[in-house]
Chains A and B, each alone.
Chain A
Amino acid sequence: MSVNINIKNAVKRYGDNTILSGLTVNIKEGELFTLLGPSGCGKTTLLRMIAGFNSIEGGEFFFNDLVINQMSPSKRNIGMVFQNYAIFPHLTVRENVKFGLKNRKLTKDEMDQRTDEMLRTMQIEQFANRLPEKLSGGQQQRVALARAIVIKPDVLLMDEPLSNLDAKLRVEMRSVIRDIQRSVGITTVYVTHDQEEAMSISDRIAVMKDGHIQHIGTPKNIYQRPANTFVATFIGRSNMLKGLLNTTGSKPTLRIHNTEFEMNTIKKDIKLNNSIIVSIRPEEFFITNDESQMKGTVIDYIFLGLNTHYTVKLESDELIEIVIESSIDSIIQPGTLIHLGVKLEKINVFSEDGSQNYVIGVENDNVQEKA
């Protein structure tokens, strides 16, 4: 049985040091919800509060309608996968997986049946009687996952579970985790600092910074319509340029240095004639022959196969990065003057302090935190 996790005004302090000051988030039943952020942002702290290993200094944590603040971690019915796997080294793979079942009221047959089933699902039955030290990292990861899921927990918590694996295994285990999570349909909270990992497996992502949630949304929305400049630069790469938002006629126009663009995506209630920050991702530029567009000089390039990345110096002396699909003809050499068009429907425009996105289409489930 899966639950909805509702966290209201969570507060976490270590002595005088406040890590979380009133964080609110609602994690829906059955979804894979990722806490993403740089190290020290409080994501693991929050996860461990849900697990019960960190004390809760304020606020309320609900599993459905049940407040779990004071509940012992052993009673929360949580499956947890640790960063270092935390596999019991003195127990065999089977005993590891079975460990949690011994604390449920199950007959021996049921226990064995469920253990075997899980060993099979995770494709580790051939190692069942081995000690964990004999297993590779990926196999240990499967044992940890099996052990967490076999107890049929209400919630699955994963703390950077893939960070100890090599790049190839990491990609493979991502889909293993995704498939298992989908088939079991269990509410899952996943912590990572790897944005690509977060994008590839999450239903929704909460981007965190300094103990505050910046943006909660689907991977697509977070990437395409980030709530603020932090999210825009943390997720993927963005060129942040200074600009002005004006009106000519009825339409808002965006002015970047000497070039003006007519914008269709600006929200209605935005005050115009303002300094703004415009965020343009490298792939949102295109090279054009239209000399009315932005001018720049190629400084450097990196050929990466599918795409070629160019570093370009604009007339304003700002350096930007652009990505162009590699073509069969020669690479544009440094020193070449080029003109750059912008895919206007894709770019984002932020208030000068970077806190607000002026573009239509931002879906942020993050409710305003209490002051």
Chain B
Amino acid sequence: MSKKKLDVWSTISLIVLLLYVLFLIYPMLNLVVQSLTNKETQTLSFEYYEKFFKFPYYSNTLINSFKVTISVTFLTLLIGTPMAYFFNMYEIKGKSWLQILIIISSMSAPFIGAYSWILLLGRNGVITNFFKSTIGLQIPDIYGFTGILMVLTLQLFPLIFLYINGAMKNVDNSLLEASENLGFTGLRRFKLIVFPLILPTILAGSLLVFMRAFADFGTPMLIGEGYRTFPVLIFSEFIGEVSGDKGFAAAISIIAIGITTIFFLIQSYISNRKKFSMSAMHPIEPKKISGVKNVLLHVFIYTVIGIAMLPQGYVIYTSFLNTKGMLFIEGYSFTSYVQAFDRLGNSIQNTFIIGGLALIIIVLVAVLIAYISVRRRNYLTKFIDTLSMIPYIIPGSVMGISLLVAFLNPPFRLAGGITIMVVALVIRRLPYTIRSSSAILQQISISIEEAAISLGASNLKTFFKITVPMMSAGVIAGAILSWTTIITELATGIILYTGRTKTLTIAIYTEVIRGNYGIAAALSTILTILTAGSLILFMKFSKNKDLSV
């Protein structure tokens, strides 16, 4: 082996490692230290942890979060699994449009759903008032646990759907035919054949839903009212005017990471034992069914998707209503848009600058890390690979706090600037992009690179002339998906933003909090258009049209 070759990739590995040390390990260690330090005496102390577990006011949020998260995971499976199964087994009218709607609803920020449901079903909601005035029926309150559950379920079942839909595409039709041949059809076949085959995917999807639901901060903040979940506690302890205790917030953050880590480990333990690879030579052919069954099937699917799309639709509708103060009034106009651009136009610009910068860095670093961890396996690259996965289990608000605390003071004073926003987005989104890039790379036979090298191309030339072009289609598709998550990111941004670096999502959130529903609706609509537009781009670049999140 030549020495020069080691240099190029080792240098890149070392630079990447250094960045991770600076932007991930240092802030995390710093957080641990803060959580264990008494502010007055500057000595080691467990008082913050004791405080958390001693007062039910704090520790109850953990129980609340578990209730929400486990219920949401269960409900999304209950809705998402049959949806995906029916989509693959039966012919459904307007299937491709429905699929796009499901994807769009999965890509919007959950808190927008929450605030729209308040407008619809809240104390003064449109539907609530309609039932009250026409038939005098008082619809049950949607604030608190119920509301959070409803909003997050509707928001997250598409993830389960997309995961299982992907897995179903890899189930070979002959497996189903074989089981039918042996006398198993319908539910029994689902239980004995299909379910075990897609179980690893169900587990992976559940974990993702669990992590999202656990870390979601906007929804419980808006619709939870007295029902406080863990991220709400973290946020209010950190930002809150009452206490604003950084050490305590740090301790809660560490507890949160501990919990997500445990769930992550359990999930990977189970799915490693159940893992097997599938690829379908003959994918399942959707069958046409008729009669009552067909009607019920369509009713089920259209109802679920209809309800999931309702908040989005209503937000778009209200964006064209006239407003007076905090109220929507009669008549339609573009006033909300004009006001939105007047007051918050720069948030759109910020979204593009911050998001764009983050995206470029994500793609570049993800491809490099994927390459070194797949093709140059050694202890260093393995370590980097593991490091890059850590943010997967860190809730967004915790990530925000750790970065803010670490870079508040010199020598690394980044707080308040664009850099810290970009860094946060990059670190949070990298695990997904690395995973998808590695998957693409693993499908490229190494002998193709060897062929280039044996024909006299240098390592770097091989990488840029052969490897990168072969990866590009998949990487671009992955990048567009990353883009949609970047522009809807809230949990980290809300902690790190300042007036100068406010993005679209943060602007919507702050406008909702202030009660400027018209402006919020206008901005939300712009966000939806951006997301849908990105999706169309994705469909163009992605060959198989299948989405993996």
Contact of B455 among A53, A71, A147, A157 (CB under 8 A): A147
Contact of B450 among A51, A55, A89, A90 (CB under 8 A): A51
- State A90–B461 Cα separation when bound (angstroms): 15
B455 partner residues in chain A, CB cutoff 8 A: 74, 79, 99-100, 103, 147-148, 151
B454–A88 touching, CB < 8 Å: no
**Interface check B409, CB cutoff 8 A:** no
B450–A86 touching, CB < 8 Å: yes
**Interface check A339, CB cutoff 8 A:** no
Query: What 0/1 readout, one digit per residue, does chain A (59-74) give for beta carbons within 8 Å of chain B?
Result: 0000000000011111
Which chain A residues have a beta carbon within 8 Å of chain B's beta carbons?
A: 51-53, 55, 70-80, 82-84, 86-90, 99-100, 103-104, 144, 147-148, 151, 157
- State A31–B456 Cα separation when bound (angstroms): 23
- State A305–B448 Cα separation when bound (angstroms): 44
B452 partner residues in chain A, CB cutoff 8 A: 88, 99
B450–A80 touching, CB < 8 Å: yes
B447–A82 touching, CB < 8 Å: yes
Q: Can you list 26 A-B pairs with a CB-CB distance of less than 8 A?
A: A51-B450, A52-B454, A53-B453, A72-B2, A72-B4, A72-B453, A74-B454, A74-B458, A78-B454, A79-B455, A80-B451, A80-B454, A82-B447, A82-B450, A86-B447, A86-B450, A87-B448, A87-B451, A88-B451, A88-B466, A89-B470, A90-B470, A99-B455, A99-B457, A147-B455, A157-B454
A74-B456 contact in complex given A55-B1, A82-B450, A89-B470, C-beta closer than 8 Å: yes
**Interface check B445, CB cutoff 8 A:** yes
B448 partner residues in chain A, CB cutoff 8 A: 86-89
Minimum CB–CB distance for A78 against chain B, Å: 5
- State A148–B452 Cα separation when bound (angstroms): 10
B2–A82 touching, CB < 8 Å: no
**Interface check B240, CB cutoff 8 A:** no
B4 partner residues in chain A, CB cutoff 8 A: 72
**Interface check B125, CB cutoff 8 A:** no
A71–B451 touching, CB < 8 Å: no
A87 partner residues in chain B, CB cutoff 8 A: 448, 451
A73-B453 contact in complex given A55-B1, A86-B445, A90-B470, C-beta closer than 8 Å: yes
- State A104–B454 Cα separation when bound (angstroms): 12
**Interface check B469, CB cutoff 8 A:** yes
- State A206–B448 Cα separation when bound (angstroms): 28
**Interface check B5, CB cutoff 8 A:** yes
Measured CB to CB, the nearest residue on chain B to A72 is: B2
A78 partner residues in chain B, CB cutoff 8 A: 454
Minimum CB–CB distance for A153 against chain B, Å: 8
- State A89–B459 Cα separation when bound (angstroms): 19
- State A55–B461 Cα separation when bound (angstroms): 21
Contact of A103 among B445, B450, B456, B459 (CB under 8 A): B456
Query: What 0/1 readout, one digit per residue, does chain B (306-345) give for beta carbons within 8 Å of chain A?
Result: 0000000000000000000000000000000000000000
- State A100–B448 Cα separation when bound (angstroms): 13
Q: Other than the known A52-B454, A89-B470, what 7 A-B pairs have Cβ atoms closer than 8 Å? A: A77-B456, A79-B455, A99-B452, A99-B457, A100-B456, A104-B456, A157-B454
Measured CB to CB, the nearest residue on chain A to B454 is: A80
- State A80–B470 Cα separation when bound (angstroms): 21
Minimum CB–CB distance for B492 against chain A, Å: 37
- State A324–B469 Cα separation when bound (angstroms): 59
- State A295–B461 Cα separation when bound (angstroms): 70
A147 partner residues in chain B, CB cutoff 8 A: 451, 455
Ranked nearest first, the 9 interchain pairs of A and B with the lowest CB-CB distance are A100-B455, A103-B456, A86-B447, A72-B2, A82-B447, A86-B451, A80-B454, A86-B448, A74-B453
A55 partner residues in chain B, CB cutoff 8 A: 1
A70 partner residues in chain B, CB cutoff 8 A: 1-2
- State A206–B228 Cα separation when bound (angstroms): 76
Which chain B residues have a beta carbon within 8 Å of chain A's beta carbons?
A: 1-2, 4-5, 445, 447-448, 450-459, 461, 466, 469-470
- State A103–B457 Cα separation when bound (angstroms): 6
Contact of A79 among B445, B454, B459 (CB under 8 A): B454
A73–B450 touching, CB < 8 Å: yes
B456–A51 touching, CB < 8 Å: no
Measured CB to CB, the nearest residue on chain B to A100 is: B455
Measured CB to CB, the nearest residue on chain B to A69 is: B1
A51–B454 touching, CB < 8 Å: yes
Measured CB to CB, the nearest residue on chain A to B473 is: A90
A83 partner residues in chain B, CB cutoff 8 A: 447
Measured CB to CB, the nearest residue on chain B to A81 is: B451
Minimum CB–CB distance for A88 against chain B, Å: 6
- State A82–B450 Cα separation when bound (angstroms): 9
- State A74–B4 Cα separation when bound (angstroms): 12
A151 partner residues in chain B, CB cutoff 8 A: 455-456
Measured CB to CB, the nearest residue on chain A to B466 is: A88
- State A104–B466 Cα separation when bound (angstroms): 18
A79 partner residues in chain B, CB cutoff 8 A: 454-455
A75 partner residues in chain B, CB cutoff 8 A: 456
Minimum CB–CB distance for A60 against chain B, Å: 16
B5–A72 touching, CB < 8 Å: yes
Measured CB to CB, the nearest residue on chain A to B456 is: A103
B2 partner residues in chain A, CB cutoff 8 A: 70-72
Minimum CB–CB distance for A187 against chain B, Å: 15
Measured CB to CB, the nearest residue on chain A to B470 is: A90
A90-B447 contact in complex given A74-B454, A147-B455, C-beta closer than 8 Å: no
Minimum CB–CB distance for B376 against chain A, Å: 13
Minimum CB–CB distance for B341 against chain A, Å: 43
Contact of B454 among A76, A84, A89, A90 (CB under 8 A): A76
Minimum CB–CB distance for A254 against chain B, Å: 50
- State A291–B4 Cα separation when bound (angstroms): 75
A90–B451 touching, CB < 8 Å: no
- State A104–B455 Cα separation when bound (angstroms): 9
Measured CB to CB, the nearest residue on chain A to B5 is: A72
Q: Report which residue of A51, A70, A88 has the largest number of chain B beta carbons within 10 angstroms of its beta carbon.
A: A88
A82–B451 touching, CB < 8 Å: yes
- State A361–B146 Cα separation when bound (angstroms): 92
- State A103–B167 Cα separation when bound (angstroms): 44
A84-B469 contact in complex given A100-B456, A104-B456, C-beta closer than 8 Å: no
- State A31–B489 Cα separation when bound (angstroms): 65
B469–A90 touching, CB < 8 Å: yes
- State A157–B454 Cα separation when bound (angstroms): 10
B5 partner residues in chain A, CB cutoff 8 A: 72
- State A82–B454 Cα separation when bound (angstroms): 11
Measured CB to CB, the nearest residue on chain B to A151 is: B455
Minimum CB–CB distance for A13 against chain B, Å: 14
- State A86–B470 Cα separation when bound (angstroms): 12
- State A103–B452 Cα separation when bound (angstroms): 10
- State A89–B470 Cα separation when bound (angstroms): 8
B457 partner residues in chain A, CB cutoff 8 A: 74, 99-100, 103
Measured CB to CB, the nearest residue on chain B to A73 is: B453
Minimum CB–CB distance for A44 against chain B, Å: 11
Measured CB to CB, the nearest residue on chain B to A78 is: B454
Minimum CB–CB distance for A165 against chain B, Å: 17
A103 partner residues in chain B, CB cutoff 8 A: 455-457, 461
A84-B445 contact in complex given A71-B2, A103-B455, C-beta closer than 8 Å: yes
Measured CB to CB, the nearest residue on chain B to A82 is: B447
- State A72–B461 Cα separation when bound (angstroms): 14
- State A350–B367 Cα separation when bound (angstroms): 59
- State A103–B455 Cα separation when bound (angstroms): 8
B454–A73 touching, CB < 8 Å: yes
Contact of B447 among A71, A72, A84 (CB under 8 A): A84
Measured CB to CB, the nearest residue on chain B to A56 is: B1
A148 partner residues in chain B, CB cutoff 8 A: 455
- State A70–B2 Cα separation when bound (angstroms): 6
- State A53–B462 Cα separation when bound (angstroms): 14
